[in-house]
Amino acid sequence: MDDFGRRLLQRLVRRTPAQALKATLGKWERLTVAQRQSVDFTQPKVAVMEQLVAIFEENGWTVKHITELEMINYMENANRGMWHAFQMTDPKDDANAVEMMQFKEQFKSHLSELVRHVSVKIKKHTDEALWIRIAWGDSYSPPNHLKPTYVVHHLQTPYVFVTSLNSKQKPFLVQALILSTGYQGIKDANLSGQKLTAIRDLLMKQYQQIFPSKYNSPLTEKNETVSNPHIEREQSEHASKRLQMACEAFGDGIVPQLQTAVYKLETKFRGDANTNRTMTKREGPFRCLVKFASTNLLESFRECASSGIASTPVSPLLSSITLKGRNYFVVTENGLPSSQT
Amino acid sequence: MEGASSKGVLSHLSHLEVVTRSRKCEAQQPGRVAELKAKAAALVKQRDQLKAQIQIQQNLQKLRKSMNKHSNEEEEEMDEDSENSQLLRLMARHSHLRDLLDAHHLIGGYDVIKTSQGKGMCVSLATAYEGVYLDTYNLELDLKPKLRIRRHNIPPFIPLNQLAEQSNMEANIKPFLHLLSQHLNAFAGRKQQLKLVKENHKSIEVMESNVLCSILVLMLTVPRQKTAVLCTLDYTDQTRCLPTNARFESEDKELLNSPDWKKHCSLLKDTPLHKALTTMKTIGSIM
Amino acid sequence: MKVGDLSVYIDMSLLKPFSKLPALNAATILLVEREERFQQNLADALVGDTTVTVNVRLAKSLPLPMDNEESRPRIDLVVFIINLTSELSLKSAEASLKYLDPGYFLGKVCFLATNARNTSVPTERLDAMRKLAASLHCPLLFAEDQTPDGVNSATERLLTVLKVAAGLVPTATALYLSSLTRCTIPPDIDQPSFE
Amino acid sequence: MLNMEQHRGSAVRTPINGVPVQKRSKSYRLSYGSCLGAASRFGFTPTLTARRFSTTRRVSKLHNVKEKINADQLALLVKMEWKLSYVTPLYQFRHTKLKSYSRQLSVFITAEKQQGLAVDVDRVQNSYRVSFSLVHGMAGTDDAETVLIQVHSKHMFAKKDEPQKLIWSGWLTCMNGNSDYLGSLPKDFICLPLFGSSGPEDLTSLVQSWFKQNFDCCIGPLEISHTSLQWLAALWTNCHNEDNIQHLKLIWSLPVAPPLQITYTVDPQDAWDLWGSVRKGSGAEKVREEEEPGKIIDIDEVMSFMQGLNSHFYKHFRLDLSSGSLKEVATSLGSAKYNGKIKISNSKYMITTLTLLTEGALLKMPI
């Protein structure tokens, strides 16, 4: 195995916890059961590394196989680095009929036409998502496997999620995607985060939403905890109304684990009219950047709304995170409904 | 001495008590009469109200009958006080729409309720296949300033925005809801068929499928020579849960040209997949 | 607004201490807390008392909604629970005071402050709290809301005040007890000493 | 017993038995006093005055610190982020005996460090070098001089000739302390209430325990209170017209599960305009104030400045920041965190900032 392969494998072994590495090897059909048993994961990483190198050399596997292993590993724990969401726009009528094989061939051919040395690997994940690993080279240098770009695309949907893509490579990727999916444009979805599953579930609405309905909403049944007959909550309807509005705005039960939301405010100053009279009359915008952060942002907002820290109905700025599937907003004077003052 | 005076005082007190008790019940008598009179008046008022309601209902029934018959001749006897008949016509239309909604709810079409104080409405579309209720999808719409989809939990591979433009939702929502309900029910039907195939036909391997279940590739095995036949089903028309095209591929060319397999091809196109596969199994052309 | 309307307004939403007949050997306490957290533990502990049937009403703020006016028993003691680490908690309690009939301030109102030892509490807020309690001649109790013993000791003290306020203690009236326990502040509390 | 003359206008607190006792019990008396002082904050014993922040602050602009303080000391003070602690008055601390203190502390640290490791003695011996030094010009009229402590050390396995690295530094200061309080201290006590340290935690606790043993004082962590953070936000914004503060960053945390952290960063010019709009007498008096050497800032202006920011926030997000607590204030001039971490990046405003922090520390002093 050449030392570049060795460096690549070493980086993979070093970065992945033993258990995860074991699971990844399990999923990688190339290894026979015997070979897999032979690797002892309890030993320190260096020893594990040597055993793997021996197996690779024994089977004469090359860098290609190592990158395959790395891709499987990445697909299993993708919640690292920063994922950005894009949405493809104005689909041609056959956009919905794109089939995997067809997409695979077209994407590879288009991309290799645009960039001379590029290595593309496409795999289908258990949840029908298409994973694309791109190692970029250029006319002089071979594909750089140390900094691959990962792209996740769900066929028949306009959504694409990308990580570690630089601005130079972006136009090529966009071109290849458009040509092979039957869409004609692409736009930034203003949604990014560390947890791929979170931003995907938010954008593709894969979480429990609460809608107004005629019947007694399941929420109120859930938390009518049987309490002591002597204890009576006076404002229980207010509380349940707040909870209903909170869940309608931020989802019910397990919600996508978004961690940040950023608002760039460029609206006029909106203090209380009497104390800051001069400011409210001021012409220019009151520019400020507001960043919300929490281990589970939607849950935090939901509790703010249900506990009354945030007054309900929830501000359209906050509820548009789930409505529009975004977590980056530039709010200008017209962007804000006038009724907001 | 002290006892006598107290007795005096006590007896005086009891006397006063007797006097007040008697006076109170006399006052009682006229009060009783007034009370009864008021009750009577209230009852009369209630009766008149009920009478008026019956009258309105009768008019409504007549109007609804005439509306259903689309009789175009003018209802002469109705228009003596036009403002009143106008109101009645409005009430008739309202109750007509309400019945329509209940009907939709019953046949599993969709439910519509008013939200955010009349500024919005929420449509919930139920899906079902072969009598089994499947998922229900919701759609919250803003009525003001114009009809706009505010929030929904329709899966992303259903092209909601194209459907909205295509059926000109802003002008009239009924065709849009109908089209969307068709798409959702077809999708639910296809997904249900795939689920049933995986459950009932373990021997048949699903090689390829997608989230929209708009394409399906199955691996069939012919019993005798164990030759493999690759069956590809295309559901290009997404408002139907039956494939628009079915084709087979296999090394054994002439097997495919046999009449049985020709029949299988059309069988797959007009019967649900899980049923078609069972019949092919019973005929014995596949394992 | 004519005086008449005013009185209607005041009368309508005002909580009155003697508007209903008391029940036998029972006392009702109203816990008002904006955060609605500590009041739940307190309520569970309060109803555990066996000597007196204690009814607990929980509220986030006043006024109380009109529709359960009939079913609500006479309230013998109103307790404002204030989390000193939140400015909003104190402001919300202050805003609720105007919905209480003046009759309550004769020993039937008490303040319960939590997190007083937390260093993030600015001294100005603590002084505002003490001044508010002192100006209303109400007792100011401090409680530790994080630990079970804190909850129990707060419950004990509230029960004693409640029993007196409900008139279940023959020798003491609410007014007499509050004159002993009301919060007082040193005369020069306002005079800044770091000129 | 020492007769603690109280602040003006309040009753003199006479100790219970009035008999002079030796040194050991005196500090006990003092620390007992401090808890009594703390108790008075909770409204039980009405006799003691509860002290609090001054409601106005003079922003003295004339202090050009650069000439007075020696350059590399200043560079050190400006570079690091300091962890704050409060120190009760030091008993018999002499500014003249800094040399001997350096030696004593160096031996103390080496001894403590050596306990842990079985290393041959001479290599460890010279590995910790401590230097006490005076920082001239960093004190108010009747404050004690500021003391800077630096600990240099060579790494265990470093070669002999390698230069010693600065691994820990700390300072004790008193900036414009309340003259009445300082006056009320008996003569052998020196008050340097504000202690800043930057370096490994274990060295900080070693230095602190050395001070406790030798000068009979108590040292504890000093948070920067909510009000001080608001003061700093206003003071730093107030400097924008001279030194661009680049941004005014406020970090709030809201008590929900999981906790929500809000970073509210305001454009400097807009913050300056808002600050200008809340200044009292932004009309006529402002002109009069210009001639005065330092401008007076009032607590109400600070409050309405913060209130303006919060209501702007509320009008957009309908979220009330006052239900949470302010955790950090940062501008290009410096940053302050609630847990007691301060960074002063521009020497010109060091005096005002240290005055504010000294006040916070003095609040912890026993009466």
A39-98 per-position pLDDT tens digit:
777 888 888 888 888 888 888 888 888 888 889 888 888 888 899 999 999 888 777 778
Q: With contact defined as beta carbons under 8 Å apart, do A309 and C92 qualify?
A: no
Q: Can the peptide bond before residue C170 be classed as cis, meaning omega within 30 degrees of 0?
A: no
Decide if A311 touches C, using CB distance below 8 A. Answer: no
Residues of chain D in contact with residue A311, where contact means CB-CB under 8 angstroms, are 318, 320
Contact A284 D304 (CB under 8 A): no
Contact C85 D325 (CB under 8 A): yes
D293 pLDDT exceeds 70? no
Share of chain C above pLDDT 70, in %: 90
Backbone angles phi, psi at A266, to 5 degrees: -130, 45
Minimal-distance CA residue of chain D relative to A337:
D316
How many contacts does A have with C, using Cβ atoms within 8 A? Answer: 44
If you average pLDDT over residues B154-161, what whole number do you get? Answer: 89
Q: What mean pLDDT, rounded, does chain C reach?
A: 85
Residues of chain B in contact with residue A323, where contact means CB-CB under 8 angstroms, are 150-151
ipTM score of the complex?
A: 0.81
The letter for the amino acid at D317 is F
Q: pLDDT tens across B112-138, in order?
A: 888 777 788 889 888 889 888 888 899
SS3 A240: helix
Q: How far is CA C135 from CA B279, B284, C33, C184, D50, in A?
A: 89, 95, 20, 9, 18
Q: pLDDT tens across B3-19, in order?
A: 555 568 888 888 888 88
Tell me the pLDDT band of B227, cut-offs 50, 70 and 90.
confident
If you average pLDDT over residues D243-266, what whole number do you get? Answer: 94
pLDDT at residue D7, as a whole number: 35
DSSP track, B184-220: HHHHHHHHHHHHHHHHH-TTSEEEEE-TT--EEEEEE
Strand-pair partners of D90: D190
Minimal-distance CA residue of chain A relative to B105:
A214
Decide if D311 touches A, using CB distance below 8 A. Answer: yes
Decide if C138 touches A, using CB distance below 8 A. Answer: no
Q: Which of A75, A33, A76, A71 is nearest to A55 (CA)?
A: A33
Share of chain C above pLDDT 90, in %: 49
Contact B156 A100 (CB under 8 A): no
pLDDT at residue A223, as a whole number: 54
Domain ranges of chain A: 3-76, 83-202, 234-340
Decide if D183 touches C, using CB distance below 8 A. Answer: no
Q: What mean pLDDT, rounded, does chain A reach?
A: 86
Tell me the pLDDT band of D140, cut-offs 50, 70 and 90.
confident
Chains B and C touch (3+ CB pairs under 8 A): no
Tell me the pLDDT band of B91, cut-offs 50, 70 and 90.
confident
Minimal-distance CA residue of chain C relative to A231:
C56
Bridge-based pairing of strands D295-298 and D325-331 is: unpaired
Q: Which of D221, D224, D217, D281 is nearest to D88 (CA)?
A: D217
Contact A237 C65 (CB under 8 A): yes
H or E element that contains B253: helix B253-257
Tell me the pLDDT band of D14, cut-offs 50, 70 and 90.
very low
Question: Of A5 and A151, which is predicted with more confidence?
Answer: A151
pLDDT at residue D248, as a whole number: 96
Decide if B136 touches A, using CB distance below 8 A. Answer: no
Pick from D7, D43, D54: CB nearest C183: D43
Decide if A232 touches C, using CB distance below 8 A. Answer: yes
pLDDT at residue D141, as a whole number: 78
Q: Which of D72, D212, D81 is nearest to D148 (CA)?
A: D72
Out of A133-137, C75-79, D70-74, least confident range: D70-74
Mutation site, C60, C70, C91, C99, interface A, largest A CB count within 10 A: C60
D287 pLDDT exceeds 50? no
pLDDT at residue B131, as a whole number: 85
Decide if B151 touches A, using CB distance below 8 A. Answer: yes
pLDDT at residue B20, as a whole number: 83
Mutation site, A269, A331, A339, interface D, largest D CB count within 10 A: A269
Minimal-distance CA residue of chain C relative to A303:
C35
Residues of chain C in contact with residue D42, where contact means CB-CB under 8 angstroms, are 116, 126, 142
Bridge-based pairing of strands A260-267 and A328-332 is: parallel
Structurally, at CATH architecture level, domain A83-202 sits in: 4-Layer Sandwich (3.60)
B104 pLDDT exceeds 90? no
Residues of chain C in contact with residue D43, where contact means CB-CB under 8 angstroms, are 130, 140, 183-185
Contact A231 C47 (CB under 8 A): yes
The class level of CATH for C7-185 reads: alpha beta
How many contacts does A have with D, using Cβ atoms within 8 A? Answer: 121
pLDDT at residue D38, as a whole number: 37
Tell me the pLDDT band of D116, cut-offs 50, 70 and 90.
low
Residues of chain C in contact with residue A238, where contact means CB-CB under 8 angstroms, are 60, 65
* CB interface of D with C, residues 245-264, below 8 Å: 255
B103 pLDDT exceeds 50? yes
Residues of chain D in contact with residue C130, where contact means CB-CB under 8 angstroms, are 43
pLDDT at residue D28, as a whole number: 29
Domain ranges of chain C: 7-185
Q: What is the pTM of this model?
A: 0.81
Share of chain B above pLDDT 90, in %: 15
pLDDT at residue C12, as a whole number: 60
Pick from B113, B153, B212: CB nearest A209: B153
**How many Å apart are CA D320 and CA D255, to the nearest integer?**
12
Backbone angles phi, psi at C191, to 5 degrees: -80, 110
Decide if A239 touches C, using CB distance below 8 A. Answer: yes
pLDDT at residue D281, as a whole number: 62
Contact B210 A155 (CB under 8 A): yes
A320 pLDDT exceeds 80? yes
Q: pLDDT tens across B251-276, in order?
A: 877 777 888 888 888 888 889 988 88
Distance from CA of A210 to the nearest CA of C (A): 24
Pick from A99, A154, A322: CB nearest B211: A154
Pick from C120, C185, C193: CB nearest D51: C193
- Chain A interface, Cβ < 8 Å to B: 91, 96-97, 99-100, 128, 154-159, 203-205, 209, 211-214, 322-323
Mutation site, C57, C76, C79, interface A, largest A CB count within 10 A: C57
* Three-state SS sequence of chain D: CCCCCCCCCCCCCCCCCCCCCCHHHHHHHHHHHHHHHHHHCCCCCCCCCCCCCCCEEEECCCCCHHHHCCHHHHHHHHHCCEEEEEECCEECCCHHHHHHHHHHHHHHHHHHHHHHCCCCHHHHHCCEEEEEEEECCCCCCCCCCEEEEEEEECCCCCCCCCCCEEEEEEEEECCCCCHHHHHHCCCCEECCCEEEEECCHHHHHHHHHHHHHHHCCCEEECCCCHHHHHHHHHHHHHCCCCCCCCCEEEEEEECCCCCEEEEEEECHHHHHHHHHHHCCCCCHHHHHHHHCCCEEEEHHHHHHHHHHHHHHHHHHHCECHHHCEEEEEEECCEEEECCCEEEECCHHHHHHHHHHHHHHHHCCCCC
Minimal-distance CA residue of chain A relative to C27:
A230
If you average pLDDT over residues C128-139, what whole number do you get? Answer: 92
Tell me the pLDDT band of C151, cut-offs 50, 70 and 90.
very high
